[in-house]
Chains A and B, each alone.
Chain A
Amino acid sequence: MPLFFAYLSVIAALTSALLALATNRRAGLQRLAEALGRHGLQAPPAVARILSETHFVRIHRYSLFALLGISGVSAVLAGLGALSSGAVRTDTLPFGLPWLSWHVRIDPLSGFFFCVLGLPLVAVSLYGPSYVREFEHGKHSLSALGLFTGLFVAGMELVLLADDAFLFMIAWEVMSVASYFLVAYQHDHAANRRAAFLYLLMAEIGAIAIILGFGVLAGFGGGLSFEALRGASLSPLWASIAFVLGLVGFGMKAGLVPIHAWLPEAHPVAPSHISALMSGVMLKIAVYGFIRFTFDLLDQILWQWGVLVLIIGSASAVLGILYALQQQNLKRLLAYSSVENIGIVFVALGLALIFLSSGQTHLGTLGLVAALLHSLHHALFKSLLFLGAGAILHQTHEQSLENMGGLVHRMPKLAAVFLVGTLSIAALPPLNGFVSEWLIFQTALQASAIESGVLRSLIPTASAVLALTSALAATCFVKVYGVAFLGLPRSHHIAHAREVQHRGMLGGPVLLAACCVLLGVLPTPLINGLAGLTRQLTGFELPHVSALGWLWLTPVSPEVASYSPALVLVGAMAVGWLCYYLLYRRTGLDPRRAEPWDCGFGGLTARMQYTSGAFSMPIRRIFQPVFELRETLEEHKEGPAQARVTALRYQFHVLDRAWLSLYQPSGRVVTKLARGAGRLQTGNIRTYLGYSFFTLLFLLWVIS
């Protein structure tokens, strides 16, 4: 049954893509209907009505997203089926190479990621129809958007289904290339084209690394099916080579520092529902690939890998959030925050690797569960935030935080939903972001179970970095919410913004917010549901998760730690309501509205507020070495001897150090090499004839 739903979701996504392609031109379809009519096949009047100009576009739009919605729902069903049964279903499809037909398989691990994919996809399918309306009459084709969205989703689902390296890579490439076109969708801006090219370049380099990684395994395993790869027995050196190749390949897609550079460029320029899918889902597909590669396909785990993953994960987490804090473009900020969250996932994976390699299967499993949960949670709240940012963009055409403000009055419903996402991503109890971070801390605190002293001191250091990261994340998202939604509007657009009118555009984010709250308050059923998955990967399941009952989360044992988010929520609401009752209901003193205090100046204006740049200035200054800061100050002077300053213009740009120290030099090297190679191309026919001549001579010499 899970396999049937998985097929259904792939087929629905592909149908959505094909439908977008087929209905590219309404006029063509209309002519087709007329031609059929002339040949006696009179179409029912409904067809004519559908093809009429007023209805066609709407129906087109809704049907595309309805198919994506079906795909999402069946992905969730497939995932839940695979997780609950805990069984492995395999199938062989009659495509592929002559000696290798495509192997397909759904097991608890891919089932879990089907859920991670499905939930945001359903939200996007609710949100999409109204969001893409603005592209309808623009210069960009809606059909292209629909086509590549469908292909993108189908590619991600096929990656999860693949059971041989060949199908895996094909699906991986479908996913990468389709998303390239989605990033390049609004290609009239040069910056967008550049971002898309960078994305494609890095995606392909990553893909090469993955292919090589599979190649190493296939070389020892004697086949491309995952079954054969699993059977490969490698020496530690070859295993490490394969692991590093896998880490580079999947890490590049996931956006680990320092190979994250495409991410903050590509996510902001794609349409917002695509950004939500890319950031919320596609990065998780990379995490899936990494988990599949490391925990399932490689037959051994070395502690050095865990250390490497832990270090890279910690670096991504803290650098990601520090850069996120300095962004003024909302979607770019969210993209950098994805780097941070992926870093957190990899910290948990690194802990799992270290514990597993030192024989602590229980703790390794706990780390793995924490990583999986954080992947799911990030998929939920990051999609929610991207959809929210998209709604603001849709209503106000504004991406910069510096121009927002006061949206809570203009868009109260969106503000409420966005607040849930903000609190979740800031890891505050009792929402879901806190649960996964709590689990990671609990895993890290068990470091004393490890024999090696170096590892034992490394893990707490990583958790110190993680603690800093989570505190900075709270700062970052308080800034986002405070600057965008609270205070006074900073620009004309924002002051006249209106609440989102379409139900679906709120419905999608509301669905995600509900999931965030639900998973935050009742995490135990889900963690218990992962038992089949962990049994598959580590041969172990967490025995004590609900030792105190289903309301309590006790990852290690009840004595070590316990947390009951449901009771926390009940307690908080009870205390809050009691205060409200005693203080408000009893006194009955109604508050009075008045002007805020403005130091005696005449009236408050929006320009007196703290801006986003000002809010994060102390952090920028404290962590100065991390950033490459470009500040300019222009003074306009007047009067005798230019003594009177009439206007000041201050600008600052925060640049990514990785970009300056890694990408630009390597770009220069590549250009230099290309120039050198370019000398061969003289454009002169005689030279080319000369090349042919000498090649022939050389070959003759070799043969003789």
Chain B
Amino acid sequence: MVWLLAIVQTLLFIGAAPLLAGWTKRIKCRLQNRKAPSLFQPYRDLFKLYCKQPIVPQPASWIFRAAPYIVFASTVLAASTVPLVAVDLPTARIADVIVLVGFFALGRTFQVLAGMDIGTAFGGMGSSREMTISSLAEPAMLMAVFTLAMSAHTTNLSQAMNYVLDTGLVLRPSFVFALGGLMLVAIAETGRIPVDNPATHLELTMIHEAMILEYSGRWLALIEWASQIKLMLYGVLIANIFVPWGIAQAPSLPMLGYGIAAIALKLAVLALLLALSEALFAKMRIFRVQEYLGFAYLLSVLGMLSHIILEAAR
């Protein structure tokens, strides 16, 4: 039963991710006074790509072909370990939050390798930039996560969310810092403005796009879908770690329905915030990103230290 719940929840994750992307895009269009596409446009795009014949660039090896599957699989595994509508997932025992970061790293590694596999200048450029950004973002993310783990005395996400729910609404300075750090990291890791621009096709500013420039057809669909899932994953992490209220603590139908409604609402609000910030800020120069991520890292470390100094003292 719990395993069924875990699988259904993962499928819900995969299914709802394009919807979140569509919603974000819609708000952003509205904020920019543009006519918005349908909420379901991302599904149509994915289906269109699925039907197309993919093209493999000449110098590419098997890594180019295998990478989309690995990227997608690692993202789905990551999604399966993050509680979406209910805690006490059996999958949370297979992989804790450090492994979750490892899953992201695995997918990214293959995406970067695929970018270098095609032997173009763009692929290498995108790969180099992606790895640079992620090697600064990943420690910040780990530190933010560790703050939570040290407060809850566990790295198991289900347990940690239970802990936050059980202790009730307490204002912890460490959580505020960690939340700030994690939000900044989420923006960097999912390739949003001001670090990267998901809509760009301008050579000098591309990061994520430059790596996947040669993908087409079903492979591009997989990669796009994986990055939509990743966006939603970060949203769910932020929403459910720091404001876990509403999530189902017992697997009963009304609780689950309540959980779905709660997470939908939280994600909608987060998407609104994201779209707002994207409308307000401009993209940074690549060598400013280090300051941005250094700030995120600092916030996360501060969060951890403030936990240790202020909260863990007995």
- Seen from chain A, the residues whose Cβ lies within 8 Å of a Cβ on chain B are 405-406, 408-409, 415, 423, 426-429, 434, 438, 441-442, 445, 447-448, 453, 456-457, 460-461, 463-464, 467-468, 470-472, 474-475, 478-479, 481-483, 486-488, 548, 552, 558-564, 567-568, 571-573, 575-576, 579-580, 583-584, 587, 589-599, 604, 606, 608-610, 614-619, 621-622
Interface flag for B127 (CB, 8 Å): yes
| A429 near B99: Cβ-Cβ < 8 Å | yes
Q: Which residue of A lies closest to B69 (CB)?
A: A576
Using A474-B109, A583-B50 as known contacts, say yes or no to A564 and B94 having CB atoms under 8 A apart: yes
List B contacts of A427 (CB < 8 A). Answer: 102, 105
Contact at B57–A610, with CB atoms within 8 Å? no
Given A445-B149, A610-B128, A622-B132, residue A596 in contact with residue B106 (CB < 8 A): no
Q: Are B150 and A445 in contact (CB under 8 A)?
A: yes
| Chain B facing A: main interface SS | helix
List chain B residues, Cβ under 8 A from A598: 120
- CB contacts (< 8 Å) of A558 on chain B: these are 93
A445 adjacent to B155 (CB under 8 Å): yes
CB–CB B308/A467 < 8 A: no
The 25 sampled A-B contact pairs (Cβ below 8 Å) are A409-B59, A423-B109, A428-B102, A428-B105, A429-B95, A445-B146, A447-B308, A453-B308, A453-B309, A464-B142, A474-B105, A475-B131, A486-B113, A487-B59, A487-B117, A487-B124, A559-B154, A559-B159, A563-B94, A575-B73, A575-B76, A593-B57, A615-B131, A622-B132, A622-B290
Residue of chain A at shortest CB distance from B126: A610
Check if A467 sits within 8 Å of B154, measured CB to CB: no
Q: Is the CB of A429 within 8 A of B146?
A: no
* Mask: chain B, 134-168; 1 = CB below 8 Å from A; 0 = not: 11101100110010011001111001000000000
A427-B102, A448-B312, A591-B217 known; A409+B94 contact, CB < 8 A: no
Known: A448-B312, A481-B113, A609-B121. A488 touches B59 (CB 8 A): yes
Q: Chain A's nearest CB lies how many Å from the CB of B241? A: 16
By the criterion CB–CB under 8 Å, are B218 and A572 in contact? no
A445-B146, A575-B72 in contact; A408/B61 too (CB < 8 A)?
yes
Given A575-B72, A587-B218, A609-B120, 12 other A-B residues pairs in contact with their CB atoms under 8 A: A434-B102, A467-B139, A468-B139, A471-B105, A474-B138, A561-B96, A576-B69, A590-B53, A596-B118, A606-B119, A608-B121, A609-B121
- The complex places the Cα of A263 from the Cα of B301 at a distance, in Å, of 33
Other-chain contact of A594, B55, B105, B129, B159 (Cβ < 8 Å): B55
Q: For residue B304, which residue of chain A has the nearest CB?
A: A460
Q: Is the CB of A475 within 8 A of B135?
A: yes
Identify which of B120, B131, B149, B150 contacts A478 (C-beta below 8 A).
B131
Determine the chain B residues whose CB is within 8 A of the CB of A453 once the complex forms. 308-309, 313
Q: Are A572 and B55 in contact, with the CB atoms below 8 A? A: no
**Alpha-carbon distance A591/B220, docked complex (angstroms):** 12
With A561-B154, A575-B72, A576-B73 already in contact, the answer to whether A589 and B53 are too (CB < 8 A) is yes
Q: Is B80's CB within 8 Å of the partner chain A? A: yes
Contact, CB under 8 Å: A596 / B105? no
A568: B residues at CB distance < 8 A: 77, 94-95, 99
Q: Among B93, B106, B121, B150, which residue has its beta carbon within 8 angstroms of that of A610?
A: B121
B124 contacts A615, C-beta separation under 8 Å: yes
Contact of A618 among B53, B69, B122, B132 (CB under 8 A): B132
Q: Does B116 have its Cβ within 8 Å of any Cβ on chain A?
A: yes
A488–B156 Cα gap in the complex (Å)? 43
Q: A429-B106, A589-B54 are in contact. Are A486 and B120 (CB under 8 A)?
A: no
Structural contact, B136 and A471, CB atoms closer than 8 A: yes
B residues apposed to A, CB below 8 Å:
50-63, 65, 69-70, 72-74, 76-77, 80, 93-96, 98-99, 102-103, 105-106, 109, 112-113, 115-125, 127-129, 131-132, 134-136, 138-139, 142-143, 146, 149-150, 153-156, 159, 203, 213-214, 217-218, 221-222, 286-287, 290, 297, 301, 304-305, 308-309, 312-313
Q: Using Cβ atoms and an 8 Å threshold, which residues of chain B touch A461?
A: 301, 305
Partner of B94, one of A405, A471, A571: A571
- B289 nearest CB across to chain A (Å): 9
In contact, B312 and A610 (Cβ under 8 angstroms): no
Q: Complex: how many Å from CA A427 to CA B299?
A: 25
Contact flag A572-B77 (CB < 8 Å), given A583-B222, A614-B128: yes
Leading 4 A-B pairs by shortest Cβ distance: A610-B124, A482-B116, A596-B57, A487-B119
Decide: A593 near B95, CB < 8 A? Known: A464-B139, A571-B77, A622-B290: no
Shortest CB-to-CB span from A546 to chain B, Å, is: 13
Q: Given A457-B308, A618-B132: A584 and B113 within 8 A (CB)? A: no
CA A463 – CA B146 in complex, angstroms?
9
B80 to chain A: which residues have CB within 8 Å?
Answer: 571
Question: Which single member of B135, B287, B305, B309 contacts A474 (CB below 8 Å)?
Answer: B135
- Contact between A562 and B156, CB atoms less than 8 A apart: yes
State whether B301 touches A482 (Cβ < 8 A).
Answer: no
| Interchain CB contact under 8 A, B59 and A596 | yes
On whether the beta carbons of A587 and B59 are closer than 8 Å, the reply is: no
Docked CA distance A10–B207 (Å): 55
Inter-chain contact B154/A560, CB cutoff 8 Å = yes
Q: Which residues of chain B have C-beta atoms less than 8 A from A467's C-beta?
A: 138-139, 142-143
Rounded to whole Å, the gap between the CB of A74 and the closest CB of chain B is: 36
